[in-house]
Amino acid sequence: MTTPPARWSLKRRLAIRLLIVLTMGVLGPSVVMVGAAMWAIDSMDDRALQDQAGDIVRNLDVTVSPPALHLPARLANAYATSGDSYLYAVLDAAGTILAASSPAAETLARVADDMTPGVFFLVTRPNGGQPWYAYMTTAGPYFVAVAQGSLHDDSLADSVMRDLVGFSFITALPLLAVTLLVTFWTLNRAFRQMERVAGEVRAITPGGAEARLSSEGLPSEIAPLVAAVNDALFRLGRAYEVEKRFTTDAAHELRTPVAVLTARIDTLPPGPTRDSLAADAARLSRLVSQMLDVARLDAAPLPMNAHVDLVAIVREAVAALAPLALRDRRTMEMRAPDTPVMVEGHEGALRLAVTNLVENAMLHTPRGTPIDIEVTPQPAIRVLDRGPGVAETERASIFERFQRSPSATSSGTGLGLAIVAEIAARHGAQAAVSGRPGGGGIFEIRWPDAT
Amino acid sequence: MRLLLVEDERELAGLLKAGLKAAGFAVDHVATAADAEAALTSGSYDIAVLDLRLPDGDGLDLLRRRRAAGLTLPVLILTARDSLSDRVKGLEQGGDDYVLKPFHIDEVVARLRALLRRPNQALGVNIVIGNLGLNTMDLRVMVADGPLALSRRELGLLELFMRRAGRVLTKEVIEQALYGFNEELESNAVEVLVHRLRRKLAGAGATPSIHTLRGIGYLMDDVP
């Protein structure tokens, strides 16, 4: 089971979330402060109006009828010189103006007549312009309405808000930048260490399970993962060692008696018995070798990371077998390009595959028949013989272990081609057999076109 | 020729010893790495046969140690085939030869003789294959007791073939051995040289022959 690759990165998530948090952290207080400031400005106007009304009420003598207003000179002067910025009007219950700051107060009185005492309201100026802000209260049976031009107008609130928001952002933007920088720097350092560990993991080759990852410089959150991987590597390494140990021990234990047998047969007097015993021993020896090759292939994946030249590998393997071919009075020819044919893979395994292909041809074709070997630029290794070939019905199963063609001679082990197929598969290539025009078989290891 | 045989498997050692004695070697046999090290240190052998897997250590480690201490005698290694490891490859690239277990005693004897032909001392040696003889000191070639005149390059090629008789020499190996690094080389120079040498040997009645394996290399043997 594979998990789809993550479509987000930790850095991107952190950047987006930090941006949201910091924006809220900056804008939130600003909004609260602007709100508070506007409220303060509004209530300042309200209090000023109430104070203004209070002044009038205090100086209104309601014991006489009509009531008499005795404004101190300072106030009277202020009203007179305000240019209708400050107004007052004293009304009776019928709405008749009993006293007023100026003729303009008539407008105020008209609007105030419809109002209930204790409310704030706006009065439209008859000649346009900003409306008055007004308030009405009672003084005994009378009503006192006051108004002022909005001194603390919205432009003030706007400027306060602009200043506050501007100031907030001036401080917030560097803060945001520094926060993001510090976050990214911290993450980058942690990720560099993780990238290093990933490199160490990538460098682990099959059979290299004794490798350990270093947790140096890693954040403590990641260290347990590294420790767990190291534990797993240790267990794998131990299992691999046991397996490897067994195959090497088995190799030695199996080969020694075969070596003794071969050497003992060599001491016999020459004759047909010695020859057939030698052939039996050779077959036994081949079986042991191939069983061990299969065990080795099964025991662990091969490191496939080397760039190797098929031409050189095939020529070397074929050159080692050529003396045997000559002894059987065969001709052997290799055709290959003058330039290397490079593939990714394991040199020893490929040499073993070629050896098995050629040995297979030597075992299953009559003495004296030619064996040709080809390497092609589109990576492929071909061994062509002039033997009986392989019947079409047997071609699929011939590469399976111990699946020997019914027509095969007794000298085969049934393992050689299985080893070839296994090694081919490990290289992403395919082992196949086909008929050769003019008689014989073509055994090949073919790499897919994409390589 | 005094030969040290290092092999822990008793029966195999007995058979090898008998075979080597029959081939004319004076054989001393030891079964452990410790005994082998002591025997090699004594310095009284001309050649050694070394099994890599010994009860008290690894033969290759022992050899590396003695080589570092100045051991020069040729050593033939007995090893189990392990195609998937680079161990055999390492041996191939080293100066010493190896034989895979199981082996025929004839093969071991042939390899030992080949190793002894190597000029590790300033003494001339005679290499003989069939009725063909070469003295590597004065570079005289004899075919059935009669001298054969060869050019300098032909002599070089013949020596190469005779030292590695029975094994394939690739064209690259011959080119590297006979021609200088900067030498201009016709693509068919080796073919032409081999052809000339073969004709001269055949003309003189030499029994060994040079086989051509097209695309692979050349091989000299004395199979009648």
For domain A304-446, give the fold. Heat Shock Protein 90 (3.30.565)
**Nearest by CB to B15, which of A267, A315, A327?**
A267
State the burial class of residue B149 (Cβ atoms within 10 Å of its Cβ: 0-12, 13-18, 19+). Answer: exposed
| Residue keyed to tokens 């609007």 | A111
Question: CATH 3.40.50.2300: which residues of chain B?
Answer: 2-117
- Right CATH for A12-155 from 3.40.30.10, 3.90.550.10, 3.40.1840.10, 3.30.565.60: 3.40.1840.10
Task: Give contacts of A 221-250 with B, CB under 8 A.
Answer: 248
Contact between B131 and B144 under an 8 Å Cβ cutoff? The reply is yes
Measured in whole angstroms, the distance separating CA A13 from the mean position of its chain's CA atoms is 12
Asked if B102 and A259 come within 8 Å (Cβ–Cβ), the reply is yes
Residue in B32, B80, B97, B38 with CA at minimum distance from that of residue B59: B32
> Hey, where are the domains in chain A?
12-155, 304-446
B110 has a pLDDT exceeding 70: yes
- Kindly state the average pLDDT of the residues A133-157: 78
Name residues 47-76 of chain B within 8 A of A (Cβ).
Answer: 53
Q: How confident is the model at residue B123 (pLDDT cuts 50, 70, 90)?
A: very low
Residues A334, B214: C-beta atoms closer than 8 Å: yes
Q: Kindly indicate whether the domain formed by B2-117 is annotated with CATH number 3.20.20.210.
A: no
Confidence of residue A300 (pLDDT cuts 50, 70, 90): low
CB contact under 8 A, B221 and A263: no
Pairwise pLDDT comparison (A294 vs A421), residue with the higher score: A421
- Looking at per-residue confidence, does A202 or B120 come out higher? A202
The whole-number pLDDT of residue A1 equals 43
> What distance in Å separates the CA atoms of residue A170 and residue A26, rounded to the nearest whole number?
10
Q: Where in chain B is the domain with CATH 1.10.10.10?
A: 126-221
Give the pLDDT score at A139.
85
Q: Per-residue pLDDT for A8 more than 80?
A: no
With CB atoms and an 8 Å threshold, state whether A266 touches B19: yes
A332 to chain B, any CB pair closer than 8 A? The answer is yes
Q: Looking at beta carbons, which residues of chain A come within 8 Å of B85?
A: 348
Alpha-carbon span A112 to B104, nearest angstrom: 131
What architecture (CATH level 2) is domain B126-221? Answer: Orthogonal Bundle (1.10)
- Tens digit of each residue's pLDDT (9 = 90 or more) over A70-104: 888 888 888 888 878 888 888 888 888 888 888 88
Segment B128-144 shows an average pLDDT of 86
Q: Mean of the per-residue pLDDT values for chain A? A: 83
Query: What average pLDDT does range B58-62 have in this prediction?
Result: 83
Long-range contacts formed by B172-177: CB under 8 A, 24+ apart: B173/B217, B174/B217, B174/B218
**CB count, 10 Å around CB of A157?**
17
Q: Does B185 touch chain A (CB under 8 A)?
A: no
Between A417 and A204, the higher pLDDT residue = A417
Q: Give the residue-averaged pLDDT of B198-212.
A: 92
A317 touches chain B (CB under 8 A): no
Least confidently predicted of A27-41, B26-40, B62-76, B200-214: A27-41
pLDDT band at A201 (very low <50, low <70, confident <90, very high): confident
Residue A294 neighbours by CB under 8 Å, 6+ apart: A401, A415, A418, A419, A422
Phi-psi sector, A332: left (phi>0), alpha (psi -120 to 50), beta: beta
Per-residue pLDDT at A94: 83
B118 pLDDT band, cuts 50/70/90, is low
Task: Calculate the CA B22 to chain-centre distance.
Answer: 20
Which of A122-136, B11-25, B62-76, B98-112: highest mean pLDDT?
B11-25
Distance CA(A275)–CA(A269), nearest Å, equals 10
Query: Mean pLDDT, chain B, as a whole number?
Result: 83
**Chain pair A-B, CB pairs under 8 angstroms:** 114
Could you tell me the two tokens for A352? 């073993």
Question: Given a cut of 90, is residue A266 above it in pLDDT?
Answer: no
Q: Token digits for A267?
A: 């001491």
pLDDT digits (tens, 9 = 90+) for B159-181: 889 888 888 999 888 888 888 76
Name the band, by pLDDT with cuts 50, 70 and 90, for residue B210: very high
DSSP A303: P
HSE, side-chain direction, 13 A CA sphere, residue B135: 11
**3-class state of residue B210 by DSSP:** strand
| DSSP classification of residue A392 | G
Q: Is the pLDDT of residue A105 over 90?
A: no
Gap from A274 CA to chain B (nearest CA, Å): 13
- pLDDT-wise least confident of A111-120, A152-161, A269-278, B10-19: A152-161
Interface of B with A in 72-131 (CB under 8 A): 80-86, 89, 101-106
Lowest mean pLDDT among A70-74, A213-217, B99-103: A213-217
